Chain A
Amino acid sequence: MTRHIRNAALFCALLLVALLVNVARVQVLNAEAYQANPANRRDTIARYQQPRGDILVAGRPVTGSRDTGEHLRHERTYRDGPLYAPVTGFASQEYGTTLLESTEDGLLSGAAPLLAPLPLWNEFTRSRTAGGDVVTTIDPAAQRAAYEGLRSRKGAVAAVEPSTGRILALVSVPSYDPALLSGNGRTAREAWVRLNADPDRPMLNRAVQRTYPPGSTFKVVTAAAALDAGVVGNVDEPTDSPDPYTLPGTTTRLTNGAEGCEDATLREAFVWSCNTVFAKLGVSTGVARMKATAESFGFNDTDVRIPFRVAPSTFDTSVDRAQLALSSIGQYNTRATPLQMAMVAAAVAGGGQVREPYLVERTTRAGGATVSTAGSRPVRRAMHPATATRLRELMRGVVRDGTGRKAAIPGAVVGGKTGTAQHGLGNSGTPYAWFISWAQGGGDMEAEVAVAVVVEDAAANRREISGGGTAAPIARAVMEAVLKP
């Protein structure tokens, strides 16, 4: 019997070994796979266990965290949610994150490895660093001026500082309150469904995620290409252009909204926004040089990040001469984000140089110590400095005595360009009203702000839609807000 007892004991020992081996398999070998399983809620719980870091505008947080005491403990809150939604995006327990909340998530949630006091420290202690803060470049006065200006309309505003590329304002209207999506309850789900079903698409960040035909504002690019290429030697020489202009190789006749465009000088054509002159100028400059200039402004760049992705602005280069003529006046396949058009204005104001736009000035730890700074951004030459000087004059003329007079600011130097872009099937859609401009304070050495405004449905009355009428006053308000302090 003793031998059998020993055998039975051996059997029990085998059971023990099987248990130990299996537990090692579950807890060590397969642990990572189990932890990464999307149905495993532990990561999510840990993520919301501590308050999220904040996004700061001019030193003040525009975000916050609320302790709900629930399983997923902290919920995101927003101060002036709709105003800053195109900057912050949302941070939802149910629907993930967007915009800065998304690109800076590691820092805000405290998960970023570089926040750890020592490498692998958090993994070892199973702790999580407190979330850091993101300091943005946004100027709250400019942001609010743009938002108020667009109120009850539909459109977007982007404003940058030409000398640095700092984004001063990023506004999209209609907007939404990202706080509605923060939680995980029924209200969040209802808001999600409602916002997604809204035909006005309030969650679309029109300033960077949507492209519009830039219309006449693109004439700045065409003029720069023509001047750089020497197609036009003197802005006050007649350009030898007909009115109407028959598109090359077709019988389509292009006309103007304004009078006196036949054989106008570049200055007159720019100030009065003559389609015929710029269409012909684009064709004379040629697709290769148009492409080179447009791309040096940032068109066709598919990887612009500020740090979230910006929809690529396009200038179609596989075009015939008729299409090139239309492309040169910002129609056909030419499309731009408001941010891209603000960069166009900034290039003129900045002596022909374009700086990559950016939204994050600096990131800090919870205690305030700096984690990273924006540093100086790469510079691109969009046009010859002499060309920039002449374009500054042309843009000033538009504000002084052309289509953009409503953007004038007493005591400041302001340059601008209006645009009214046709779109839709057979140009049936309500045209987009554009205005791009820059402003330099009376005592300043250089322009302090460049801004682009697009209004999607400026007015019910089609005739009143014009960049100069509806978009220019908004641009002026933004520029004033930047110049004022």
Chain B
Amino acid sequence: MSKAGSTLATADPPTREPSPTVRPSGRRGIELTLIVLAVALSVYGYCAVGLARNGTVPPGAAGYGAGLGVLALVAHLAVRWRAPGADPLPLPIGVLLNGLGLVLIYRLDLEAPGEPAAPTQLVWSALGVALFTAIVLVLRDHRVLQRHTNACVTAALVLLTVPILFPAVNGARIWIRIAGFSIQPGEFAKVLLAVFFAAYLAANRSALTYTGRRVRWLHLPTGRVLGPIVAVWLVSVGVLVLERDLGTSLLFFGLFVVLLYVATGRTGWIALGLLLASLGAVAVGRLEPHVHHRIDTWLHPFASIEAGEGPSQLAQSLFAFAEGGILGTGLGRGHSVLIGFAVKSDFILATAGEELGLAGLSAIFLLYGLLVERGYRAGLALRDPFGRLLAVGLASIVALQVFVIAGGVTGLIPLTGMAMPFLAQGGSSVVTNWAIVALLVRLSDSARRQGDQGAVR
């Protein structure tokens, strides 16, 4: 890796192409331009909602635009100051998705004026951007995290287990309520676990790769290194059974399998992982009526209609997507509110699908795809195994999460409660996603610096 990746080359003016020197200002200029675009798009969406609903530009449009703009600008300045070589894409993508999420939540607020969620979401977004800024400013080198592996895993386990002590909400024990705020600690645990997995695998890569027996093309691990894997599997199943949170469980396990594969390159790990996962899924599917019901609904989304019990949430979600067609009904003109409960959180994508259509939805998916791609690219560019694994892990969290929830609400896979990154209502989720983007920015900046050192040598 002697110089910057291909994206930089295309973004640079052609006259300067031969020079291998870093041009942070060029990257930051692109970032600023994209941020302005992202804020403008969000404000446009906000105005479109108001025009569609009341025929006027909503009175808060300027304030909303200014708020989002200031947040984005603060984040941008932090990057410009402390991570000048960072990838210019993750931050604008985060701003656009977060802005779009606020528009969708504001739009759904209009259906039931009693309980506005957009202002709260804006506060959480501000907290998220604050965390982003703090991480970019304070964490000068990602390798610092490697020294705090034990703290990370302890914190993650505590965060995961705390909600068990709190009452279940809608069948799942994943929230804690303090002073009127609902927090989903499992969200924060994702990042901490990614750090832990990356650090653990970076340290034990050789042992995992080169010990054990080979049975035909399968490479089976020895018992000593198998322990931590079984432990992770148990934690995942425990989360599933005790908290009834299928989505988070699936995410942890998927994340671990991906990182294990990337770290060792052993397909045996994947086979073992899939075997364990399917064992767990079958067992839980049999034993847990909650999960069993989800699978039934997925297989027969319209069964409840035929049974005369009215459409299920999944059926309502499919109706919403279908109404969108290719171009969508236009913001503010859909009826996704028929989905009812969780329309602003788990089912937020149905509103996007109905009102923005296949075109808008594809754009949103591609934005996530781009964010993940930037994470993987940072992973490829980095030199240290921990950094590579962390970048891949964080990108995979986004990818898996989008797939699990988007696939769930569109009937591709059984529905599991999970937040659509940045779009969905939910403070913990927004804050966590900003942390992920901050780490990706930091990692891409490190990759750039490592690349430069390589070039100098």
Contact = CB atoms under 8 A, between A and B. Distances in A.
Contacts of A379: none
B150 to A, nearest CB: 24
Given A12-B376, A28-B326, A4 B315 contact: no
Nearest to A124: B327
Interface string A350-392: 0000000000000000000000000000000000000000000
Interface in B383-434: 385, 388, 392, 395-396, 399-400, 402-403, 406-407, 410-412
Contacts of A16: 365-366, 368-369, 372, 399, 403
Contacts of A37: 302, 305, 311, 315, 319
A133 B25 CA distance: 66
B395 A12 contact: yes
Interface string B361-380: 11001101100110010011
A124 B384 CA distance: 54
Contacts, number: 131
B323, B372, B403, most chain A CB atoms within 10 A:
B323
A20 B325 contact: no
Contacts of A34: 318-319, 321-323
A11 B321 CA distance: 25
A42 interface: yes
A22 B325 contact: no
B324 interface: yes
Task: Bin the interface of chain A by size.
Answer: 35 or more
Interface in A10-47: 11-13, 15-16, 18-20, 22-24, 26-28, 30-35, 37-42, 45
A5 interface: yes
A19 B407 contact: yes
B45 interface: no
A13 B258 contact: no
B164 to A, nearest CB: 30
A42 B323 contact: yes
B305 A39 contact: yes
A30 B362 contact: no
Contact of B322 (A19, A22, A35): A35
Contact of A27 (B258, B361, B402): B361
B338 interface: yes
B163 interface: no
Interface string B329-357: 11001010010000000000000010001
Interface string A112-154: 0000000000000010000000000000000000000000000
Contacts of A11: 258
Interface stretch (B16-24, B53-61, B261-269): B261-269
A24 B361 CA distance: 10
B358 interface: yes
A26 B411 contact: yes
How would you classify the secondary structure of chain A's contact residues: helix, strand, loop or mixed? helix
Nearest to B385: A1
A37 B315 CA distance: 10
A19 B403 contact: yes
A22 B258 contact: no
B167 interface: no
B311 A39 contact: yes
A258 to B, nearest CB: 61
A427 interface: no
A1 B391 CA distance: 13
B265 A5 contact: no
Given A1-B385, A5-B262, A126 B329 contact: yes
Contacts of A4: 261-263, 265
A463 interface: no
Given A5-B380, A126-B329, A22 B410 contact: yes
A26 B322 contact: yes
Contacts of B376: 5, 8-9, 12
Nearest to A22: B412
B291 to A, nearest CB: 21
A3 interface: yes
B385 to A, nearest CB: 7
Given A4-B262, A27-B353, A22 B411 contact: yes
B310 interface: yes
Contact of A3 (B265, B311, B361): B265
A79 B17 CA distance: 80
A158 B92 CA distance: 74
A8 B407 contact: no
Contacts of A12: 369, 372, 376, 395-396, 399
Contacts of B335: 41-42, 45
A356 to B, nearest CB: 42
Contacts of B321: 23, 26-27, 34
A32 B310 CA distance: 19
B305 A27 contact: no
A2 interface: yes
A1 B403 contact: no
Contact of B326 (A1, A13, A19, A27): A27
B312 to A, nearest CB: 9
Contacts of A5: 262, 376, 379-380, 388, 392
Contacts of B323: 31, 34-35, 40, 42
A6 interface: yes
Contacts of A6: 380
Contacts of B396: 8, 12
Interface string B8-39: 00000000000000000000000000000000
Interface in B235-280: 258, 261-263, 265
Contacts of A1: 262-263, 265, 385, 388
A28 B325 contact: yes
B194 to A, nearest CB: 14
Contacts of A27: 321-322, 324-326, 353, 357-358, 361
B78 to A, nearest CB: 28
Contact of A39 (B263, B315, B395, B399): B315
A23 B362 contact: yes
A-B pairs, 9 with minimum CB distance:
A34-B322, A31-B322, A39-B311, A12-B399, A39-B305, A22-B412, A9-B376, A15-B403, A40-B319
Given A5-B380, A18-B407, A41-B338, 16 more contacts: A1-B263, A2-B380, A12-B399, A13-B369, A15-B400, A16-B366, A19-B412, A22-B412, A23-B365, A26-B318, A27-B358, A27-B361, A30-B322, A34-B318, A41-B335, A126-B329
Interface of A: 1-9, 11-13, 15-16, 18-20, 22-24, 26-28, 30-35, 37-42, 45, 126
10 contacts: A16-B403, A19-B407, A23-B353, A23-B361, A24-B358, A27-B326, A34-B319, A37-B305, A40-B311, A42-B335
